[in-house]
Amino acid sequence: MQNNVTLDFGYPWWLSYGHVVLLIPALAALGVGAARKWPRWMLATLGVTALWSAASLVVLRNFNADGRAAMPTENFLKSGAGKVLDIGAGTGRSSIMVLDARPQATLVALDRFGESFEHHFGHGHEPEQRLLSNLQAAGVERRASIVSADMRKLPFNDASFDGVVSAYAMDHLPREGSKQALAEAARVLKPGGDFLLMLVYNDRWTRFAFGPALSHGGTRPSSWWRASLEEAGFRVLEEGTRPATLYFLLRR
Ligand SMILES: C[S@@+](CC[C@H](N)C(=O)[O-])C[C@H]1O[C@@H](n2cnc3c(N)ncnc32)[C@H](O)[C@@H]1O
């Protein structure tokens, strides 16, 4: 059951609406220019800018960084129940995604709540409280607990979880760190358990909307992730893309 606190994942506004800053002036100038008969090249430039920013806005709304996420595959934790670990939970978008889709599951939301958290979500105080507020707003807090730790050294015994999820987090570490985090995910997952890994992916639409401005994660091809996942002991069941996202469904 949801309460009346609203969800606020805290991603920067420009990730959802940044292109409005260009779209509105471009449309306004286009209107003025058409009325005052500005040169055609100027009107054409304004028209292209308006079209590009409108299309980019559609791309961003499709990714929906500030809204609830949909599971990229229905095959994660198909039993619908069990204990899940969310590695790099941030303000809870991925945790809520899993708890919404799997109402019988419980989840441990793990994050370091350090520099990287502040980099993404700003310097507001009590980062854990922001995560908790979102879990409460989504009405899933009774099935979730919060742990502060580094994903490269997880504070759990071997084979403690039925499922592991990690969204847009492991690609924030340098290669060696990502490999350590993958090995830790494999260690704490039960044999036969599922791992859903989601990464920022510079697909053609993301490149269209952001150009070189959104570069993180884009430098490592899916083949690097696939090889590293196999090295960590995972079997790849599915690999696919969603807007701005590369995902792998894996089995330990
Ligand atoms: C882009 S956010 C993703 C949050 C969330 N999974 C989502 O889907 O919105 C990346 C998160 O990874 C966390 N993180 C980065 N390095 C970490 C580390 N070494 N250990 C634990 N968490 C880390 C950051 O604090 C941040 O909250």
Q: Domain residues of the chain, as ranges?
A: 14-63, 81-251
**Amino acid in the structure at residue 127:** P
Provide the pLDDT confidence category of residue 122 given band limits of 50, 70 and 90. confident
Give the whole-angstrom CA distance, residue 131 versus residue 89.
8
Average pLDDT value for the chain: 93
Ligand 1 mean position, distance from CA 184 (Å)? 15
pLDDT given at position 59: 86
Ligand 1 mean position, distance from CA 159 (Å)? 22
Summarised one tens digit per residue, pLDDT across range 15-43 is 888 899 999 999 999 999 999 999 999 99
pLDDT given at position 214: 63
What mean pLDDT comes out for the span 92-100? 98
- The residue whose CB lies within 8 Å of the most ligand 1 atoms, and thus the one to mutate among 15, 112, 121, 216, is 112
* pLDDT at 169 > cutoff 70: yes
* pLDDT at 151 > cutoff 70: yes
Summarised one tens digit per residue, pLDDT across range 201-223 is 888 888 888 876 665 545 688 99
- Ligand 1 binding pocket (C-beta < 6 A) is 88-90, 93-94, 111-112, 116-117, 120, 150-152, 167-169, 172
Protein fold of 81-251:
Rossmann fold (3.40.50)
For ligand 1, what atom is nearest to the CA of residue 121?
A: 27
What mean pLDDT comes out for the span 114-140? 91
pLDDT given at position 66: 87
* pLDDT at 158 > cutoff 90: yes
* Claim: this prediction has a pTM higher than 0.85: yes
Nearest to 110 by CA among 157, 169, 67, 60: 169
What percentage of residues in the chain have a pLDDT greater than 90?
A: 77
b/e code 121-143 from CB counts within 10 Å (16+ = b) = beeeeebeebbbbbbbbbebbeb
Ligand 1 mean position, distance from CA 110 (Å)? 8
Ligand 1 mean position, distance from CA 36 (Å)? 51
Distance from first CA to last CA of the chain, Å, rounded? 33
